[in-house]
Structure 1
């Protein structure tokens, strides 16, 4: 598996000739192919560091203990990785200190011993895995934005950085559309209790966003607004008698059998409204033929209404203040003439999700951001929370004058 810096290009040339000759590119071969770029760039960077007088040592992740499942293009890190990586990096540092330059998103299959890739967020996952292995006090992830923002700056230019997040908030943000961090990449840091700081490579003096296990939420209301577009929504109503036993179980068993992931759900005794995320279906967009098959199966037990071109607007924040968030949000949407078609709240302790038409979604995000973050809303809430004729003792009790 070890690759000499002199033989990398020769190996790549041989691999490409083999692919061209066989006219076939398996997932295993694809992982091996895409690994060359990372292996060469880290060698170049380590050489440049050494030229500058900063002693550095290059490592291929699959050679220092990154052991994964054999799910090519989307492998998962196995637990044996942590002690193995720690032993190798700590041992080398003790023998001959040098800055480790490690390839991102690569590993070695536990059974095949072939090169694997870690899928989306794999480079960040590599960083957090090393951080957990070495028990570091902080992990830094460098991006092209000033941390996690209050909304997508491509939707609304007035988005501002969020200074602090919990891992729960960051996971919800990522799951519902934020591109800064993938939930899977934060798992080792979360398990190890290590803070993750998101910094900007193009603005290194910006403080960024610090993600921790918990934070003081007493003054927090809304943290960020996330938009996920091109969502399919289904309204499913039971054709049987009221309270039909097992209706929910039957519906979700159909999605399980077809390998379909459900995003948001709202239920009553005989009806279910839910959304499907195209990107989670068979690693590509759901085509109409497959969607027709889903509906055909569901129509055996229910009446189904298909609603496409919908968007999920997720309000990530302090759900202990959900009444306040919803009051403000619905007032904003009403003034903009927008009807919410579905609301999902409760399963997540940090997320309220609203479903609207795709055509209205960006306008909604802009209006909501302006209302929550730009017009003195937080100051108004803080003023309203302070008793007019009394004071708080250390236990929170109010004493009047």
Structure 2
């Protein structure tokens, strides 16, 4: 005899819809291994026709309960529920805090309170070094070159860094041992610099990395102390792969899958707020620590945002967003409420200090909004950076100033009507590794500026001048 098959509270795929009333089906086989049945809507369409129970359970995720002659099919969608649960518990955003935001124990407490004021967020935290630590490390390295090995202990900047991090750990109630190992290695590094009487770019990057490594360890320890589970990460250990351009490295594409795998795997196996060092990476050839240039923590944040496909990237600064001009020059500067990725990238490239020049690229590629906020004034709306914005009332967005720019003028009447002149000029710059910033041309002259963030010397400019004469004007 055919058993009665009754659907109770069945959840169907989005493309189909059963009527709300109970649907009766006829079971044509009582075999526990293969039970074929068909379900019909009171319309012309039909689904699940002649599908084995085993396949039905796999593809539709139903559970079939047989009790006597009755077979009840009830909702079973463990995979969907698990996926939904995972989605609800996935990391949601990046929160990046600059050096001034974590400059002291008090500021770290405020940042922790700020993070916890968003209970619905599951953020990745990116931190810079504490306060002026990066500058102090560079000064310590420069002094070590000439002070002699026996005098390294007396370097003022080294003692300042030790005192700052020990005092911060004490005030936050975490163990000094969290940073003691790094401070010991830092002192040994400075002695090595003193012995070699040289501070190479590679060593300089390693030197400044101690700032982020210590600030993130202190902050992660404090969060764990107050009952917020956190885990510290060094960016160069979780997949931030860069070029070997020390002091100004670029992030490579291999970074995105590597970072996503590490952070996602750790989060799934043991959820804890990731505390990641900003500004740092690892050279793909040298495997040495590299840095991303000044403000590189912004690039770290947007890279993580793209890698994980997060909802938003928050960059917390000490100003109320991207401003209409430099507040140090004009004190009545106002925040710009909305920007496009292109506008933000241009402003950053031409001198705006709020963002790293390259930081917009990952956000634009991932189409992830970037919100610039003030950690000292979290209620201020800040600046929202997206792909598009209303341009109907846009006249002038912001004014920026770029200092220490070198301009070259190339003047020759032979330029007039000559094919490939600029190609020759830029080929020479490429060969010499000189980065060009802005170009303006006329009939008989070309004026261009050199990017001050890139390394070049007067000797290189002289070499370029000689090659211009021989290649372009002969």
Query: Smaller-chain TM-score range?
Result: 0.5 to 0.7
Q: Is the 8 Å Cα contact of residues 260 and 280 (structure 1) preserved in structure 2?
A: no
Q: Structure 2 residue aligned with 1:61, among 220, 225, 235? A: 235
| In 2, Cα distance between equivalents of 1:20 and 1:187 | 39
Q: Is the 8 Å Cα contact of residues 234 and 277 (structure 2) preserved in structure 1?
A: yes
Question: Shift of the alpha carbon at 1:301?
Answer: 8.0
| In 2, Cα distance between equivalents of 1:127 and 1:104 | 7
Q: Is the 8 Å Cα contact of residues 57 and 101 (structure 1) preserved in structure 2?
A: yes
Partner of 2:181: 7
Q: 1:110 to 1:12 in 2, by over 3 A?
A: same
Q: Structure 2 residue aligned with 1:282, among 450, 455, 465? A: 455
Q: Does 1:160 align with 2:334?
A: yes
Q: Structure 2 residue aligned with 1:128, among 302, 308, 320? A: 302
Partner of 1:72: 246
Q: Is the 8 Å Cα contact of residues 206 and 290 (structure 2) preserved in structure 1?
A: yes
| In 2, Cα distance between equivalents of 1:53 and 1:281 | 44
Q: Is the 8 Å Cα contact of residues 197 and 210 (structure 1) preserved in structure 2?
A: yes
Partner of 1:37: 211
| In 2, Cα distance between equivalents of 1:241 and 1:103 | 50
- Secondary structure of the 1:7 match is helix
Q: Is the 8 Å Cα contact of residues 280 and 290 (structure 2) preserved in structure 1?
A: yes
Q: Structure 2 residue aligned with 1:177, among 351, 359, 364? A: 351
Partner of 1:105: 279
For structure 1, which segment, 64-73 or 95-104, has the greater mean C-alpha deviation from structure 2 after superposition? Answer: 64-73
Q: 1:37 to 1:82 in 2, by over 3 A?
A: same
- If the length of structure 1 is used for normalisation, what is the TM-score? 0.66
Q: Is the 8 Å Cα contact of residues 266 and 274 (structure 1) preserved in structure 2?
A: yes
1:43-54 equivalences in 2 (<5 Å): 43-54=217-228
Partner of 1:370: none
For structure 1, which segment, 221-230 or 122-131, has the greater mean C-alpha deviation from structure 2 after superposition? Answer: 221-230
- Secondary structure of the 2:358 match is helix
Task: List per-residue Cα deviations over 1:252-306 (Å, max 9, x = no partner).
Answer: 44444443333333333x32342313614525xx54x655555555456889xxx
Partner of 2:10: none
User: Cα RMSD (Å) of the superposition?
Assistant: 2.7
Q: Is the 8 Å Cα contact of residues 239 and 301 (structure 1) preserved in structure 2?
A: no
Question: Shift of the alpha carbon at 1:37?
Answer: 1.9
- Secondary structure of the 2:414 match is coil
Q: Structure 1 residue aligned with 2:444, among 258, 271, 277? A: 271
| In 2, Cα distance between equivalents of 1:248 and 1:108 | 35
Q: Which runs of 5+ in 1 are unaligned?
A: 304-401
- Secondary structure of the 2:221 match is helix
Task: List per-residue Cα deviations over 1:141-176 (Å, max 9, x = no partner).
Answer: 111111111111122122111011111111111121
Q: Which runs of 5+ in 2 are unaligned?
A: 1-176
Question: Shift of the alpha carbon at 1:235?
Answer: 4.5
1:235-250 equivalences in 2 (<5 Å): 235-240=409-414, 242-250=416-424
Task: List per-residue Cα deviations over 1:195-229 (Å, max 9, x = no partner).
Answer: 11111121111111111122221222211122234
Partner of 1:395: none
| In 2, Cα distance between equivalents of 1:12 and 1:87 | 31
| In 1, Cα distance between equivalents of 2:291 and 2:222 | 26
- If the length of structure 2 is used for normalisation, what is the TM-score? 0.57
| In 2, Cα distance between equivalents of 1:93 and 1:106 | 22
Q: Does 1:190 align with 2:364?
A: yes
- Secondary structure of the 2:206 match is helix
Q: Is the 8 Å Cα contact of residues 145 and 200 (structure 1) preserved in structure 2?
A: yes
Equivalenced residues, count = 297
| In 1, Cα distance between equivalents of 2:304 and 2:451 | 32
| In 1, Cα distance between equivalents of 2:370 and 2:289 | 27
Question: Shift of the alpha carbon at 1:125?
Answer: 1.1
- Secondary structure of the 2:314 match is strand
Q: Structure 2 residue aligned with 1:88, among 252, 259, 262? A: 262
| In 2, Cα distance between equivalents of 1:280 and 1:114 | 21
Q: Name the larger-Rg structure.
A: 2
Q: Structure 1 residue aligned with 2:379, among 184, 205, 228? A: 205
Task: List per-residue Cα deviations over 1:74-117 (Å, max 9, x = no partner).
Answer: 22222222122222212222222211111111222223322222
